[in-house]
Amino acid sequence: MSPEDFRRHGHALVDWIAAYWQRVESLPVRSRAAPGEVAAALPGSAPERGEPFAAMLEDVERVILPGLTHWQSPNFFAYFPANTSAPSVLGELLAAGLGVQGMLWATSPACTELETRVLDWLAELLGLPAAFRSDGGGGGVIQDSASGAALCALLAARERASDGAANERGCDRRLTAYASTETHSSIEKAVKIAGLGREQLRIIPVDDHFAMDAGALARQMAADVAAGFTPAFVCATVGTTSSTAVDPVAAIAAVARRFGAWLHVDAAMAGSAMICPEFRALQAGVEQADSYCFDPHKWLFTNFDCSCLFVRERGALIRALSVLPEYLRNRASESGAVIDYRDWHVPLGRRFRALKLWFVLRHYGAEGLRHHLREHVRLARWFADQVAVHPDFELAAPVPFNLVCFRHRGGDAGSEALLERLNGSGRLYLTHTRLDGRFTLRLCVGQTHTEASHVEAAWAAIRAAAEGTAAPAG
């Protein structure tokens, strides 16, 4: 494709995306595709001859679009958001166009230094401890996901707890990790990948608000030490996946410190809210953490993938992950004056992801971001207020951020039927969880263009659908 053709097709594609964003609200939010339907519309083999770009765009419209769930719809209230924005998409395009590989400082100094600076900005914006900044002994790095970030934190914890022996000889099954019944499954996955063994993961109970019981954590760690185990890693969550419950970070930090365990704080979605100072009390104690993760690709208007991991002591991460083959040696690395992010995560190669984050931060400004996040929380609380006073519904958990967990009083069957009816309508999309063993609906407000009218329409649709589905009580 010549530069002229690229310009022409690129303009057409940007026009298509802009038009998509304008019409996305009118499309059924959850895809109606049946299993295999999209694949059946695609040829069984790759084309032998090159095809015109226009044909690809036509197929996007004809084949791909009906197979999409529209995460950017303002009526998307499911899971957690994956909100994006125009500056982010343009940053992504630029990163692809520049096509640089930032595995080492030397392979593109700007790729590393922009990332370092933008993550320092974010550490400051989130009110994270100074130690998490690059000039404080630690620093931030963009990872592919909160799951990958947790794995890296766990590997650093494993090496710290074993004095580097696990890297040399493998895990000896004496290291233990701790999470709650509500912790995201990525921690269990990380424990398996890191070789600790699933049996070495202790699952701590939660309180009435689904937050980790720090007393139970302390008792479990004491029992483990008495039995000859070494507590290596504990994950506290700020904003759990099911209900955005907030673990008591300060109390957990005190326990972790007493037993010498690494404390990782997983604030995958809710961390974005910390840009607003009024939410920071919810993660008091974070200054004691060894690592902290949040995903701008969830609730900070930055498209996938962009997960930020901050560590207190970068040496711990680097010691766990660094391997140095001859072909990567260079003078800048050996000078010790530069960061080589390849040592901060699992992959070697890395994209220029800082560009989109930089564009987002500069486009909105901290003030603009705070405005949008506060508005999402305000809308979620408005919705919770409606639920709380309606005779047919009840709240199922506190609402500290932008997620409302609620139930139909008709019981599990009523709530489940209601969910299917709503999602089948195409007008909105919610998902569910189980809290206290009961089927619970989740409405999460976090899409870039969700406004009061969308949340009001969602509430009206939920009430209308409930009138047709109310199951007998009990």
Helices (H) and strands (E) in the chain, counts: 16, 11
Please tell me the distance from the alpha carbon of residue 76 to that of residue 246, in angstroms, as a whole number.
24
Question: Whose Cβ is closer to ligand PLP: residue 157's or residue 166's?
Answer: 157
Please tell me the distance from the alpha carbon of residue 20 to that of residue 22, in angstroms, as a whole number.
5
| Binding characters for ligand PLP, 93-132, by CB under 6 A (x = yes) | ----------------------------------------
Question: Whose Cβ is closer to ligand PLP: residue 241's or residue 415's?
Answer: 241
Question: Whose Cβ is closer to ligand PLP: residue 238's or residue 417's?
Answer: 238
Q: Establish if 146 lies at the interface with ligand PLP (CB under 6 A).
A: yes
Secondary structure class of 141 (helix, strand, coil): strand
Question: Whose Cβ is closer to ligand PLP: residue 267's or residue 466's?
Answer: 267
Q: Establish if 269 lies at the interface with ligand PLP (CB under 6 A).
A: yes
Extended beta strands in 68-147, E state: 139-143
From the list 15-23, 96-104, 113-121, 235-243, the region that binds ligand PLP by CB under 6 A is: 235-243
Residue choice 162, 241, 402, 415 for contact with ligand PLP (CB under 6 A):
241
Please tell me the distance from the alpha carbon of residue 259 to that of residue 218, in angstroms, as a whole number.
9
Question: Whose Cβ is closer to ligand PLP: residue 183's or residue 220's?
Answer: 183
Burial annotation 76-106 (CB, 10 A radius, 16+ → b, else e): bbbbbbbbbbbbbbbbbbebeeeeeebbbbe
The number of beta carbons lying within 10 Å of the beta carbon of residue 189 is: 15
Task: Transcribe 363-423 into DSSP letters.
Answer: HHHHHHHHHHHHHHHHHHHHHHHHHHH-TTEEE-S--SSSEEEEEETT-HHHHHHHHHHHH
Please tell me the distance from the alpha carbon of residue 463 to that of residue 392, in angstroms, as a whole number.
9
From the list 19-27, 101-109, 263-271, 362-370, the region that binds ligand PLP by CB under 6 A is: 263-271
Residue 266: phi and psi, rounded to 5, are -100, 105
Question: Whose Cβ is closer to ligand PLP: residue 430's or residue 466's?
Answer: 430
**Minimal distance, residue 155 CB to ligand PLP, in Å:** 16
The encoded tokens of residue 354 equal: 């800082």
From the list 93-101, 266-274, 349-357, 390-398, the region that binds ligand PLP by CB under 6 A is: 266-274
Question: Whose Cβ is closer to ligand PLP: residue 299's or residue 439's?
Answer: 299
Q: Establish if 233 lies at the interface with ligand PLP (CB under 6 A).
A: no
How many of the chain's residues bind ligand PLP (CB under 6 A)?
14
Spatial CA neighbour of 266 closest among 305, 208, 309: 309
Spatial CA neighbour of 122 closest among 420, 423, 348, 360: 360
From the list 114-122, 144-152, 273-281, 446-454, the region that binds ligand PLP by CB under 6 A is: 144-152
Q: Establish if 80 lies at the interface with ligand PLP (CB under 6 A).
A: yes
Question: Whose Cβ is closer to ligand PLP: residue 386's or residue 440's?
Answer: 440
Q: Establish if 268 lies at the interface with ligand PLP (CB under 6 A).
A: yes
∠88-91-94 over CA atoms, to 5°? 155
The number of residues making up the chain comes to 474
| Binding characters for ligand PLP, 401-440, by CB under 6 A (x = yes) | ----------------------------------------
Residue choice 84, 85, 134, 147 for contact with ligand PLP (CB under 6 A):
147
Secondary structure class of 195 (helix, strand, coil): coil
Q: How far apart are the first and last CA of the chain?
A: 65
Spatial CA neighbour of 442 closest among 78, 52, 38: 78
| Binding characters for ligand PLP, 2-31, by CB under 6 A (x = yes) | ------------------------------
Q: Establish if 247 lies at the interface with ligand PLP (CB under 6 A).
A: no
Residue choice 295, 313, 340, 343 for contact with ligand PLP (CB under 6 A):
295
Question: Whose Cβ is closer to ligand PLP: residue 176's or residue 241's?
Answer: 241
Question: Whose Cβ is closer to ligand PLP: residue 105's or residue 262's?
Answer: 262
Burial annotation 335-347 (CB, 10 A radius, 16+ → b, else e): eeebbbbbbbbee
Site for ligand PLP in 182-201 (CB under 6 A): 184, 186
The encoded tokens of residue 134 equal: 């690059």
Question: Whose Cβ is closer to ligand PLP: residue 81's or residue 285's?
Answer: 81
**Minimal distance, residue 241 CB to ligand PLP, in Å:** 4
The residue ranges that bind ligand PLP (CB under 6 A) are: 80, 145-147, 184, 186, 237, 240-241, 266, 268-269, 295, 307
